Structure formats: structure tokens, C-alpha cells
Amino acid sequence: MTQPPKSHLFYQSRLRRPMLDQARGVYMWDLDGKRYLDGSSGAMVCNIGHSNERVLEAMRRQMEKSTFGYRLHFETEPAERLAEKTASLTPEGMDKVFFVSGGSEAVESAIKLARQNAIAIGEAQRWKVISRQPSYHGATLGALTLTGYAPLSSAFDPMMRPMPKIPAPRAYLDGLDPDDEATGCYYADMLEERILAEGPETVLAFIVEPVGGASTGALVPPAGYMKRIREICSKYGVLLIHDEVMSGGGRTGKFFAAEHWDVAPDILVISKGFAAGYVPLGAMVATNEIVENVLNQGGFLHGYTYAGNPLACAAGLAVLNEIEREGLLENATTVGHELKAGLQGLMDRYDIIGDVRGVGLFLAFELVSDRETMKPLPRELNAYNALVDIAYDKGLIIYSRRTRGGYDGDHFLVCPPMITNSTHVAEILETLDAALGEFVKTNHNQL
């Protein structure tokens, strides 16, 4: 294998991967020509696949006109067109779009807009943002205060103001029926209890991923949960923020995952699949009322240098057009059913798979020691890393995290691009089968 050159880069660890040569569709190749199926769309980003020629051509056209225009000096046509398109996809009354470069920036923007709105309407005592445990909302300090994932946040706790948390609705771990609305209300009512405990007049917002991302592994909320959450927030004047950074962009079969429950937030954030990895891009979308409240009180005290970058917006618009042109929402639904059924078939073969979950092409499976008790695998196995590495060596990329607060449990996201077809599904399942078989054989004494 060609060794990567000495690197001046550093990321989370000393782990080195092969040097990327090229990527096309659902596949990526290293410099030795080895092919990998991108079974997680990167970090659930490349929703329309790699190197789509129509998106690249839209970027070329914009590059010939302008690659940057500072938002305080110019409005740009790509930004306005993308804002209009984005607003057309959001619930009625959510027409105001604020562009950013990524998910953490989008979350920061949302909580700062929510805070400024509270001040503007004379409720400056509201500052607490409730989130869930576990959860992940971004890597910046503001977003980390909302994140319930100690391995990523604990080192920075002294630098942050703690925010209240409620348990994520993990019915599969608690032995509850996710299809029973009583289960959804059981978990949602924890929000009301926490609001009352904190003092409703102090609670600014509740932030939630409609379908859980990396920290909970494609967790679909129990029946009734999303509707009840909306009712509780409205009852106490608490803003509801939907974090659709990972679930938005179509991979659940709806452009926004919350559409599955016909529930509208007050503010939503999106990134990742919004521009599908072609450029760094994200957005915060808010109701007209909230934005007008803030603008009437002197403006939004917030901004980023690259907000509304014309090249990024041209790429984002091309991505949205491609999703519609190719019917990728429908494909995510159809192929997602096929892939999920295949993962459930693997669960029938391997006792260590304790749960398969998700919707569309936003899917995950979780490994356990005991399916009845959902006891996690021994921590020292590091299954969440080991299985990823085995699959990677076999040419399949998947994405993992630790389910139980970041320290125990092992789940794996299987979220290939929305252009995935039945042939790709078969390849994913065959490689996963081989990887699971090798993992079980290697660790049979500890399972």
C-alpha cells in the first residue's frame, strides 16, 4: 500500500488512512486504486453521491462570475435563489434564511437568534436551552453546552455554562413499545417536568434532532413524541429548535425528517446534506415573527465571513435541484426499506446485533452482549472502532459511535448516498456480513 506522505495536518488522533485519489457516485478510490463503497456518505454528508457533473458545472459557471461577495457589501443572486428554494421546503411561515458554513455554526446561530428574540420581546430572563442526553449538536463551545456526550465535552466543562438535559427517548433500551403513543408521551412529558423544575420563565428553547444522529444512531422517536413536544413548547412559550443538520436534506425520505410527523419548529438548522459535501454550507431558518422581532430591535448581533458565499450557494441550489430531478427522496424511501430489511436479516444471523433502526437511508444497528437485557459489549473490545476498521479493510465505509453516553455501547450508522441502488445494497450487506463474521470469530471468547 502506498504510504501517505508525512503529514502536517492533525485531527482527532494519530490514525492515518490512505490518501484519497478520486470519488464518483457511491465509490471512492485511494492512490493504489483500491475501491471503497461510501456506506456512510462520509459523515452523513454526501447525500447525492460524489462528483455529480451537474453540480460541478453549476459551480464552474459561478466561479467564472464571482467566488466571494461579502454579505454587508452585496446581495448575490445564488444566495437569494437558494434562500427562496430553502424557504419553499420549510413549514409555512418559515421564510427567513441565514446561511452558514456548517452544522456547529447553524446551531450557534439558532441559539443566539432565540436569545435575541427573548430580549426583543421583553423576556430577557429566558436563557436556558434544554437538550437531550445523549445528543450531539456541534463542536463549538455554545453547541457543546447543548451536547450530551461527555467524551467530547467534559474537558471543556469549566469553560461553559451547563444547560439542562432530559433523557433521549430510547424505548428499545427501556423495554417500551415505540409504536405506543403512551411511550412517546412518557418521554415527552419529561420535557414539561424539566421546564417546571427550571422555572418556565427561564427556559428559552428546546433543541431536538427529529431523527437522532451520531450520538443515538438513527433513533426514531416513539409515536406521539414529536407532537407532544410541540404542544409542551407552545404551552410554556419555549422555542422549539429542530436540529436537522444530519437528518435534513432528504435521506429519511422527506426533505426534513420532522415532516414524517407533520410538526413545525420555530427555528430549524440544516447542513451536511444541504450541499452534500460539494462545499461547506449550512443554514438556519426561522419564522418571520422571530426575525422581525430581532431586526426591529437593532438587528441580529451575529454573522460569519463566509455567510451566503455565492459559490457555496450555487452549489447548494444545484444539489437541491438534483434531489428533485433524480427523485432521490423516493429512492431513499424505496432503497432504504430494502437496506433495512437486509440489516434485519443480519440481525437474525448474528446474536450480537441487538437493534436495527432508522428510516429511509438513515439507518443504524447496535451490538450488544445480550439481546434480552441489551447489555452492551465489553468496553475493552472497542467494537465501535474494530468493526469499522474490519469493514474499511474490506472496502466498506461505515460510521460508529458509543451509544451509552459515549463510554459504552456500540452502534453503526449505515447511510449510503441517496443514489444507492439494489446492487449497492447487496454489496453493502455482503461486506457487512463478512466483517461481522470476522469480528465474531476474532472475539468469540469475549462475546
pLDDT 10s digits, 100-128: 999 999 999 999 999 999 999 999 999 99
Instruction: Give the pairing of strands 267-270 and 282-286.
Output: antiparallel
Cell 457487512 found at = 432
Strands, DSSP E only, in 134-243?
Answer: 165-167, 203-208, 239-243
Look up residue 101 and give its amino acid: S
Residue 24's H or E segment, with its range, is strand 20-24
DSSP label of 27: E
DSSP 262-278: T---SEEEE-GGGTTTS
Judge if pTM exceeds 0.85. yes
DSSP label of 380: G
What is the distance, to the nearest Å, from the Cα of residue 162 to the centroid of all Cα atoms in its chain? 22
Whole-number percent of the chain with pLDDT over 90: 94
Instruction: Give the pairing of strands 353-359 and 128-133.
Output: unpaired
Task: Report the C-alpha gap between 216 and 424 in whole angstroms.
Answer: 25
Out of 23-32, 255-264, 364-373, 398-407, pick the least confident. Answer: 398-407
For residue 82, give the nearest of 294, 241, 309 by alpha carbon.
309
Q: At what angle do helices 77-89 and 310-325 cross, to 10 degrees?
A: 40
- Give the pLDDT confidence score for residue 8 in this predicted structure: 80
Instruction: Give the pairing of strands 203-208 and 267-270.
Output: unpaired
Cβ atoms of 241 and 266 within 8 Å: the answer is yes
Q: What value does the mean pLDDT take over residues 389-400?
A: 98
In this structure, what C-alpha cell is assigned to residue 63?
466561479
Confidence of residue 429 (pLDDT cuts 50, 70, 90): very high
**pLDDT higher than threshold 70 for residue 3:** no
- Give the pLDDT confidence score for residue 401 in this predicted structure: 95
Burial class of residue 244 in the structure, from the number of CB atoms within 10 Å of its CB (0-12 exposed, 13-18 middle, 19+ buried): buried
DSSP 107-121: HHHHHHHHHHHHHHT
325-339 burial, b if ≥16 CB within 10 A, otherwise e?
A: ebebbebbbbbbebb
Q: What value does the mean pLDDT take over residues 20-46?
A: 98
* pLDDT one-digit tens code per residue, 168-211: 999 999 999 999 999 999 999 999 999 999 999 999 999 999 99
- Give the pLDDT confidence score for residue 332 in this predicted structure: 98
Look up residue 162 and give its amino acid: P
* pLDDT one-digit tens code per residue, 210-238: 999 999 999 999 999 999 999 999 999 99
- Give the pLDDT confidence score for residue 4 in this predicted structure: 60
For residue 122, give the nearest of 229, 234, 237, 199 by alpha carbon.
237
For residue 381, give the nearest of 373, 372, 390 by alpha carbon.
390
In this structure, what C-alpha cell is assigned to residue 386?
474494530
Confidence of residue 5 (pLDDT cuts 50, 70, 90): low
Mean predicted lDDT score pLDDT of the chain: 96
**pLDDT higher than threshold 80 for residue 9:** no
DSSP label of 425: H
Torsions phi, psi of 23, nearest 5?
-145, 135
- Give the pLDDT confidence score for residue 406 in this predicted structure: 87
- Give the pLDDT confidence score for residue 13 in this predicted structure: 74
* pLDDT one-digit tens code per residue, 355-394: 999 999 999 999 999 999 999 999 999 999 999 999 999 9
Out of 5-14, 129-138, 309-318, 399-408, pick the least confident. Answer: 5-14
* pLDDT one-digit tens code per residue, 58-71: 999 999 999 999 99
Confidence of residue 14 (pLDDT cuts 50, 70, 90): confident
- Give the pLDDT confidence score for residue 10 in this predicted structure: 79
DSSP label of 404: B
